[in-house]
Amino acid sequence: MHKLYAISHSLYSGRARSYLIKAGIPFQELSTGHESFKNEVLPKAGLPTIPTLLTPQGEVIRDGAKIIDHFEAQNGHAFQPTGIKQHALSLLFDVIGAEGLVRPAMHYRWNFLEQNESFSHYHFLHSQRLTDSREQKTQYMMGRMKTVAGLWGVIPERHELIETLYLELLQKLNQHFEQLPYLFGWRPSIGDFGLIAPLYAHLGRDPMPATLMKQQAVRVYRWVERMNRPDQDAPEYFDAGDDYLADDEIPPTMIDVLRLLSEDFVPETEAHARAINQWLSANQPQAGTPAERFLDKAEFELRGQAIESVSQPYRFALLQRVQAVHDSLEPDQKSALTAVFEQCGMAALLNIRLNRTLGWENNLDIWL
Ligand SMILES: N[C@@H](CCC(=O)N[C@@H](CS)C(=O)NCC(=O)O)C(=O)O
């Protein structure tokens, strides 16, 4: 059986777990507290992150997107919509889920400690190996995470803005899920798996934000539940289908969701591209060098307020996938796709590029 090294409170784990559940792949989930993580997994994993998969053949695959790629290559891309627009937007939701909602995820976990702290402590403790220093390490990790939120611009002066934007997102997503159980219709897509990452572990599960979601956006909460069940789990929809929406339809409710998300995702991506390109010019990493996980902070403006957040090349490893779909199209299809991105306020993303491409080797993102 596959072993998934993960744990319930980990943002990125939610993406791989939900995929395995929906794809009907049996797996056993183990926390990094198990000795086997150190012995069997870490030597091949490249980095000590979760989720990391150990296959029955002993192959180690680190990174949620790569775990999904591994199974998608085997099952004929079962979770990739065939329509080009749905496919490209699904990949866009994957980037946004991985990189675009870190601010609310961190804010609602770490700035409401009265409600969340003992719940978080349980999970951080059980990610530690069974040693005498377990509690001490837990305290250290939690202390570090509390301050790390600032890296993404979660500072007291911006809490109100982060909350306003998140509540608006809940409302727009709720309107979307009023019509449909998944992003593109009646079955989950790669985009749903990306989006579940922040909306499960942090925002749909930690005590304070889970209550908020239940109270403000029951449809979103139901989607979070649904994404962790093997069946379609859509009893409240009449005339349910079983596929993505026909004719590559993009429902207006999804355009609304993406327009809202574009407000910070686009200027933030532009700022990070500028910063990383400057870094690349200054540092000229050799081809094959592992890409940095975090670089310096970059600044952008959101609703008239400056936000500083850390640049992560990973955003562009995923964004490249969206751009590759667009680049591969014939002119007619290309302009139709550009038009949808324009409607969503996301058109700039098709052209925001790093001066170097990212590749993948030995479980690490590398500079090509
Ligand atoms: N790109 C990776 C990121 C994984 C990641 O950063 N996971 C966090 C937990 S949610 C982690 O393991 N952090 C520990 C560390 O960075 O050492 C993925 O999508 O799987």
Give percent of the chain with pLDDT exceeding 70.
100
Instruction: Using the predicted structure, report yes or no on whether residue 348 has a pLDDT greater than 90.
Output: yes
pLDDT of residue 368: 97
For residues 60 and 52, the answer to whether their CB atoms sit within 8 Å is yes
pLDDT of residue 274: 97
- Looking at residues 329-343, what average pLDDT do you find? 97
pLDDT in tens, 240-252: 999 999 999 999 9
Q: What is the CATH number of domain 87-248?
A: 1.20.1050
Ligand 1 atom closest to the Cα of residue 64 is 20
pLDDT of residue 14: 98
Closest CA to 31 of 48, 18, 56: 48
Confidence band, pLDDT 50/70/90 cuts, at residue 121: very high
Question: What average pLDDT does the structure give for the chain?
Answer: 97
Distances from the Cα of 320 to the Cα of 14, 65, 129, angstroms: 22, 13, 37
For residues 266 and 350, the answer to whether their CB atoms sit within 8 Å is no
Cis peptide before 313 (omega within 30 of 0): no
Provide the H-helix boundaries in 61-158. 64-74, 84-95, 102-110, 113-125, 134-148
- Cα 41 to ligand 1 centroid, rounded to whole Å: 14
For residues 90 and 183, the answer to whether their CB atoms sit within 8 Å is yes
Closest CA to 138 of 158, 157, 115, 121: 121
Residue-level length of the chain:
368
- Cα 275 to ligand 1 centroid, rounded to whole Å: 22
2-74: CATH topology is Glutaredoxin (3.40.30)
pLDDT of residue 135: 94
287 DSSP assignment: T
Query: What residues does each domain of the chain span?
Result: 2-74, 87-248, 250-367
Closest CA to 66 of 94, 87, 86: 94
Confidence band, pLDDT 50/70/90 cuts, at residue 23: very high
- Looking at residues 188-195, what average pLDDT do you find? 98
Closest CA to 325 of 125, 20, 86: 86
Q: Which two tokens stand for residue 339?
A: 């038009």
- The residue contributing the CA closest to ligand 1 atom 13 is 49
Give me the sign of the Cα torsion angle 76, 365, 98, 334: negative
Ligand 1 atom closest to the Cα of residue 201 is 10
Confidence band, pLDDT 50/70/90 cuts, at residue 326: very high
For a mutational test of ligand 1's pocket, the pick from 12, 38, 127, i.e. the residue with the most ligand atoms closer than 8 A to its C-beta, is 12
Backbone angles phi, psi at 230, to 5 degrees: -75, -25
pLDDT of residue 253: 98
Distance CA 29, CA 26 (A): 10
Q: What is the pTM of this model?
A: 0.97
8 DSSP assignment: T
Give the Cβ contact number of residue 18 at 10 Å: 25
Report CA Rg, the chain. 20
Distances from the Cα of 96 to the Cα of 32, 72, 76, 133, 155, angstroms: 26, 20, 24, 37, 21
- The residue contributing the CA closest to ligand 1 atom 2 is 63
Q: Which two tokens stand for residue 145?
A: 């995470």
pLDDT of residue 146: 87
pLDDT of residue 272: 98
Distances from the Cα of 167 to the Cα of 212, 265, 275, angstroms: 9, 16, 30
Q: Dump the DSSP string for 305-357.
A: EEEEEE--HHHHHHHHHHHHHHHTS-HHHHHHHHHHHHHTT-GGGGT---SS-
* Strand pairing report for 2-5 and 52-54: antiparallel
- The residue contributing the CA closest to ligand 1 atom 18 is 63
pLDDT of residue 74: 96
Ligand 1 atom closest to the Cα of residue 51 is 20
For residues 64 and 197, the answer to whether their CB atoms sit within 8 Å is yes
Backbone angles phi, psi at 298, to 5 degrees: -125, 155
53 has which bridge partners?
A: 4, 61
Q: At what angle do helices 84-95 and 252-283 cross, to 10 degrees?
A: 60
Tell me which residues have their CB closer than 6 angstroms to ligand 1.
10-12, 48-51, 63-65, 98, 314
pLDDT of residue 212: 98
Residue with structure tokens 């302009």? 335
